[in-house]
Structure 1
Amino acid sequence: MIKKFEEMSLEELWQLFPIFLVEHKSEWKDWYELEKTSLKKILGANVIKRIEHIGSTAIPNIWAKNIVDILLEVGRIEDLARVRDLLVKNGWLVMSESPNRISLNKGYTEQGFAEKVFHLHLRMTGDHNEIYFRDYLCQHPDIAQAYQELKLSLWKQFEHNRDAYTDAKTDFINHYVSEAKSSNF
């Protein structure tokens, strides 16, 4: 019998959804564009202040998890809950919430990953360090390659521990976000 997500331990979830990196796929941009169109239909144009393709799938020529990350910014705090509720009604799963941030996923099933998987980072306007990081790496292919090497070196070590994998990349990411901001990039 297949367990439901809410019945699974964190370790069971990490086994079902391991870190798995693949070579860059040009179709990730198309996945993003289709999902962006869908999100605009669900939410309406007025609530969305910014929507961007972020994460490694938005950086050319580097390996990434086969998961498209999307940043969606809203202008009012009350829009966060409203958008969350609309997305849940349309197949998104809430993964975490804090006062000004909500993370949602789509494409996770009790059997594992679906063909297309998305992470949506719902934020208030201006909370977008990921854009600085993406743009900096797109303009500095040598840094993008260094990031790829870091990710490849961490992959097998943290294959079944997504939090540790993310934590191990944090210093690198924060360094280049700071570089991007300080260089008026």
Structure 2
Amino acid sequence: MDEVELVSHDPAWAALYEAEADRLRAALPEGLVLRMEHFGSTAVPGLLAKPVIDILVAVSSVEEARETAVGPLEALGYAFWAENPRRHRLFFVKGLPPRAPRRTHHVHMIEPSAEMWDLLLFRDILRADPEEVARYAALKRELAVRHREDREAYTEAKAAHVAAVLAQARGSAAGVGDPPAAP
């Protein structure tokens, strides 16, 4: 079990993402990466977060990434979670003991999908809505106390809130771009 540690937003996180994204782009095979994004709480100014930079890497093929990306990322200090039950996603962690004292980066490799767009939509909603940031921060504080020793339970407990925010965003966008109703 991993302890849940939340800290105040650090403006340096954006630069840490950019520097790591540059290292990843240089290390990964040409043509594999379609898009790279900073997501999660460290990507939202003003939001408290676990101090781990989450990087979403959209790839042309997860199977190709499994064959060609593991070695280069391990050379950058990442550990690959080969037993990830979500086979459609590759997950890497930088900063695991004994290599380092604590996690610093997570890399999530995924083919473009609704799941990927949801991660980015939630980030963008938070970036645009300070009131939602405050609601989400309060929930995170409460859940961090309740699930202090269990990162996975903490993450799972946030899922219903995230789903509700996404559903509301989709509902408020319903009808946008639809043709006018017939008279």
Question: Which band: TM-score by shorter chain?
Answer: 0.7 to 0.9
Of 165, 175, 182, which residue of structure 2 is paired with 1:176? 165
| Residue 136 (structure 1) aligns with | 125
Listed one character per residue, the Cα deviations across residues 32-81 of structure 1 (whole Å, up to 9, x for unaligned) are 00000000000144211010000000011011111110000101243221
Higher strand share: 1
The change in CA–CA distance for 1:168 and 1:87 in structure 2 (over 3 A counts) is same
| Residue 165 (structure 1) aligns with | 154
1:181 Cα shift?
3.8
Larger Rg: 2
Return 5+ residue gaps in structure 1 as ranges: 1-10
Q: Percent identity?
A: 28
The change in CA–CA distance for 1:100 and 1:111 in structure 2 (over 3 A counts) is closer
Task: Output the CA distance in 1 between the equivalents of 2:99 and 2:76.
Answer: 20
Instruction: For residue 103 of structure 1, give the secondary structure of its aligned residue in structure 2.
Output: strand
Instruction: For residue 108 of structure 1, give the secondary structure of its aligned residue in structure 2.
Output: coil
Q: What is the Cα-based RMSD across aligned positions, in Å?
A: 2.0
| Residue 90 (structure 2) aligns with | 102
Task: Output the CA distance in 1 between the equivalents of 2:50 and 2:140.
Answer: 10
Return 5+ residue gaps in structure 2 as ranges: 177-183
Residue 92 (str. 1) matches residue 103 (str. 2): no
Matched residues, number: 169
Contact residue 32 and residue 70 of structure 1 kept, 8 A: yes
The TM-score, its normalising length taken from structure 2, stands at 0.84
Task: Output the CA distance in 2 between the equivalents of 1:48 and 1:179.
Answer: 31
